[in-house]
Amino acid sequence: MKVSGFTSSIQIVFVAVTLFLLALPVVSNAQSTNECSFGQTLDIGVVDESVRCLQVYLNNNGFVLATEGPGSPGNETNKFGSLTKAAVIKWQEDKGVSPTSGVFGPKSQAAYLLSLVASLESQKPVAILPNPTPQPIVAGASTDADSEAQEGAERILGATMEMILDTFDELEDLRDDDPEEAEDIDEDVRDVIESLFDALRAYFSGDYKNAEADADEVLDDATNAFEDAGGESEASEAEDIIEDVEDLLEDVQDMFEEAEDKGDDVGDAEDMIEEAEDLLDDAREAFENRIYRQAISDALDAEELLEDAEDEIDIVTQKDAEEAVDDAIDAFEEAEDEVDEAEEDGDEVEDSQDLLDDAEREIKKAEIALDDEDWQEAMERAKKAEDLIEDALDDIGSSSDDDEDEAEEALEDAWDEYRDAKDEIEEADDDGDDIGDAEDYLDEAKDLLNDAEDALDDEDWDEVMDLVDDALDAIDDALDEL
């Protein structure tokens, strides 16, 4: 039988728990074999003993129907009226049940059972739920293991109930898309609920070790049912994240070792990696203990540290270089199409095509560097190619006057760079610092800039730009010598 879009699967839980509670001392003499089984949706006009049980539960847990007369504590009735509905609405608001309609249907009934399980975790049983039978303490015997098993059982029972509720939510959508599949999963959920009853029986009898073991198996089955219904459990999410961070850890460790072998700067990467390893160990431990949210949090913290460690390591990896070259190739192909289209539209593209030719040469040099496993060189060539491509796109439709202005500006800027570098080198020399071959590189830059001046006089703008680029490279080399 289906009720409000759900199956009657959840009823098994309430029947099972009720039957079990009836075997224990109870807090209300008004209870009978049909109370709190919730075999139907309760709404205005329903007359049933389960309504009386619901009223007792609400009155005893802070959602009082009335202070006197019918429905008040001790005067509960079997009829669902406006007072019951108002109390249910308050209870739904408190428990986060949506919609807060006052109708006590399958979703509310599931939340009711979840509140019973939650009371185990808080060790403050709800009024309708009797306290577990105290277990005798034997002199000299350790109760640490029992306490640990009790805590584990409570945590897993709560997680199992949440998973069952989540599965019902997923099944609502699945029933529209694949009714037969939904029906099969309903069967699985019924099996899970029946197994959950065994775990609850063990818990209330004080057999926490078996309760924890039973609950552990039940949670696995509930998780499988939830994922079959289309959900992603926290267990799966945590497992995926931990695996991803483990892969990242291996990559960063390899990068760190490579940087150290080359004598590159690694900053605080080593400390960050060690801290990330500790966090990843914590994540694995939390995962083993089924504390999945903690596992996810620790793993993500480890991931953030590893990413920071990557930034600390001054090294270009093969992956970085390959991605840079691929990006340059993609940019080149897109620019070619744009330049061809501009040419068809009658725009001036000669300079743009020249720049694209230069970019293509840089890309070929970058690919050669990849073959030689010189990742740094490949990265630099790819970056230079992208700069040329950007210039090519900017130059679409430019005139010779624009080229002249650009050449003059570039040459003037280069002379400024030269003079700044010269001052810096002279200052270092005066301070007695080792300047290596800096002066030789600077002389080379000066010669190139003089040649660029000649090219400017000859109105060979491309030659000016090429010479300026070479001069700037020589200036950079000079500064690197300091």
pLDDT in tens, 448-479: 999 999 999 888 888 999 999 999 999 988 88
- Is there a domain that residue 219 lies in? yes
* Claim to verify: residue 241 and residue 103 sit in the same structural domain: no
pLDDT tens digits, one per residue of 167-193: 766 766 666 677 777 777 777 776 777
Number of domains in the chain: 4
Per-residue model confidence (pLDDT) at position 30? 32
Per-residue model confidence (pLDDT) at position 201? 73
- Is there a domain that residue 137 lies in? no
Q: Above 70 in pLDDT, residue 26?
A: no
Q: Whole-angstrom Cα distance, residue 189 to residue 168?
A: 9
* Claim to verify: residue 302 and residue 338 sit in the same structural domain: no
- Is there a domain that residue 455 lies in? yes
Per-residue model confidence (pLDDT) at position 138? 39
Per-residue model confidence (pLDDT) at position 262? 73
For all residues of the chain together, what is the average pLDDT? 79
Q: Which of 183, 213, 228 is the last residue of a domain?
A: 228
Name the pLDDT band for 401 (thresholds 50, 70, 90): low
- Is there a domain that residue 151 lies in? yes
* Claim to verify: residue 173 and residue 82 sit in the same structural domain: yes
Q: Whole-angstrom Cα distance, residue 259 to residue 65?
A: 72
pLDDT tens digits, one per residue of 303-342: 999 988 887 876 677 888 899 999 999 999 999 999 999 8
Give the largest CA-CA distance in the chain: 110
* Claim to verify: residue 59 and residue 170 sit in the same structural domain: yes
* Claim to verify: residue 168 and residue 194 sit in the same structural domain: yes
* Claim to verify: residue 166 and residue 213 sit in the same structural domain: yes
Taking Cα atoms as reference points, which of 236, 240, 248 lies closest to residue 302? 248
Among 37-46, 57-66, 111-120, 460-469, the minimum mean pLDDT is found in: 111-120
- Is there a domain that residue 136 lies in? no
Q: Which of 312, 345, 373 is the last residue of a domain?
A: 312
Q: Above 80 in pLDDT, residue 234?
A: no
Q: Above 80 in pLDDT, residue 65?
A: yes
pLDDT tens digits, one per residue of 100-151: 999 998 678 777 766 765 554 444 333 333 333 334 433 334 456 667 777 7
* Claim to verify: residue 63 and residue 30 sit in the same structural domain: yes
* Residue 274 or 29, more confident: 274
Per-residue model confidence (pLDDT) at position 2? 33
Q: Whole-angstrom Cα distance, residue 462 to residue 138?
A: 95
| Amino acid making up residue 90 | K
* Claim to verify: residue 392 and residue 405 sit in the same structural domain: no
Per-residue model confidence (pLDDT) at position 249? 92
Per-residue model confidence (pLDDT) at position 126? 39
Per-residue model confidence (pLDDT) at position 84? 94
Q: Residue 241 sits in which domain range?
A: 234-312
Per-residue model confidence (pLDDT) at position 329? 96
Q: Whole-angstrom Cα distance, residue 43 to residue 103?
A: 5
Phi-psi region of 10 (alpha: psi -120 to 50; beta: other; left: phi over 0): alpha
Per-residue model confidence (pLDDT) at position 363? 94
* Claim to verify: residue 263 and residue 172 sit in the same structural domain: no
3-class DSSP string for 313-353: CCCCCHHHHHHHHHHHHHHHHHHHHHHHHHHHCCCCCHHHH
* Claim to verify: residue 221 and residue 280 sit in the same structural domain: no
Q: Whole-angstrom Cα distance, residue 410 to residue 266?
A: 36
Contact, 240 vs 248, CB < 8 A? no
- Is there a domain that residue 138 lies in? no
* Claim to verify: residue 346 and residue 476 sit in the same structural domain: no
Average pLDDT over residues 438-448: 91
Per-residue model confidence (pLDDT) at position 142? 42
Q: Which of 365, 398, 431 is the last residue of a domain?
A: 398
- Is there a domain that residue 86 lies in? yes
Contact, 242 vs 295, CB < 8 A? yes
* Residue 127 or 372, more confident: 372
Write the CB contacts of 37 (distance below 8 Å, at least 6 apart in sequence): 11, 14, 15, 18, 50
Average pLDDT over residues 422-446: 88
- Is there a domain that residue 352 lies in? yes
* Claim to verify: residue 216 and residue 162 sit in the same structural domain: yes
